[in-house]
Amino acid sequence: MAEPFIPFALPEIGEEEIAEVVDSLRSGWVTTGPKARRFEQDFAAFLGDPALHCVAVNSATAGLHLALEALGIGPGDEVITTTHTFTATAEVVRYMGADVKLVDIDPATLNIDPAAVQAAVGPRTKAIMPVHYAGLAADMGAIGDIARQHGLHVVEDAAHALPTTQGGRLVGTLDSAATVFSFYANKTITTGEGGMLVTRDAALAKRAQVMRLHGMNRDAFDRFTAKVPSWYYEIVAPGFKYNLTDIAASLGLHQLKKAHAFQARRAEIAARYDAGLRGLPVITPPTGPAGDMHAWHLYVLRLADGAPLGRDALIEGLFAAGIGCSVHYIPLHLQPYWRERYALQPAQFPHSQHAYERMLSLPLYTRMTNADVDRVIATLHRLLA
């Protein structure tokens, strides 16, 4: 009998989340309401900085878009980000009519290379968007120095980075204009679909709150729960439909309580992979500086030179053995839209290109058993012997 398939990712949803969703359904308040507000408050408390404003949205893409809009990014402007990311990081810049400047990664960390950022700054540059790849923090000290030197905004794509730390500080509490988290189904905590924009800038937060729901100057929750007639609202801008529902927030309220336990289990799985894959022709992921926390959203393995199989053949072998995996990412410079718009060539991004050709992401989720992990390791030994 064939062994059961090990998927690439599975969320861990407990009875607490299910009960909270049922409570929302029974309450009659299923869109943005009291639980979305509680989730924002709980998220600020989790980050531990009373100066932070948290704005719940229906995706990290929405949060990044709202951050750029609030910062006034527009036509003629340029935003620097990494080529080694999902398209959402860059596409929000185009939503604003601005241009993207893609740069290469550090070959050791796979995060955006600060030296490449510095070289890319030009007269049209208005912002830098680092991505904390796989759950390891980018070099925010160096990026912050570049931003201050040139008067640029920093918006962190922290889709992979809850709860990541740098210098002992949680991502989300660093010195950036805004940080945006993702709660997509395969992220470190999930609301199914969802995200959170975090900022210390009260004006930026207020603009995001208005723009996330059609540019209305009052939330539906405030209008529909008032004890006196309060039907009146004004449209102050052409906003978007980016609000997080109470059903989704119901999941987030309990997932957030488990974030550190989830991270601990992910770190255990990563350490088990590290130990079990020693001696194979592979490069295991960087763990980050001592004392800092890696969120371990992804475990990205790279084939070393001289490996007996190429990346694609290895993925096929894993799937044939009933093991799911993925590739993070096909770099933007290889994607038709970005390649053609900016006339990009792989030679411009040698580190990203080299990593992409050799990388795959192994299964990593809290519901994996040690036996599951050991089976992945044993299969890799067999395929790479």
Provide the annotated active-site residues. Answer: 187
Q: Identify whether the C-beta of residue 311 lies closer than 8 Å to the C-beta of residue 359.
A: yes
Q: In degrees to the nearest 10, what's the CA dihedral of 316, 320, 325, 327? A: 10
**Cα distance between residue 87 and residue 337, in whole Å:** 10
List alpha helices for the chain, DSSP H.
15-27, 34-47, 60-70, 87-95, 114-120, 140-150, 202-211, 220-225, 246-257, 259-276, 311-320, 336-341, 350-358, 370-384
Quote the distance between the C-alpha of residue 152 and its chain's center: 22
- The pair of structure tokens assigned to 130 is 């680092």
- In eight-state DSSP terms, residue 176 is S
Specify the amino acid at residue 29: W
Could you tell me which of 344, 357, 263 has the C-alpha nearest to residue 302? 357
Cα–Cα distance list, 139 to 143, 173, 235, 255, 328 (Å): 6, 14, 40, 28, 20
Q: Which helix (H) or strand (E) holds 329?
A: none
* C-alpha Rg value of the chain to the nearest Å: 21
Could you tell me which of 158, 193, 188 has the C-alpha nearest to residue 365? 188
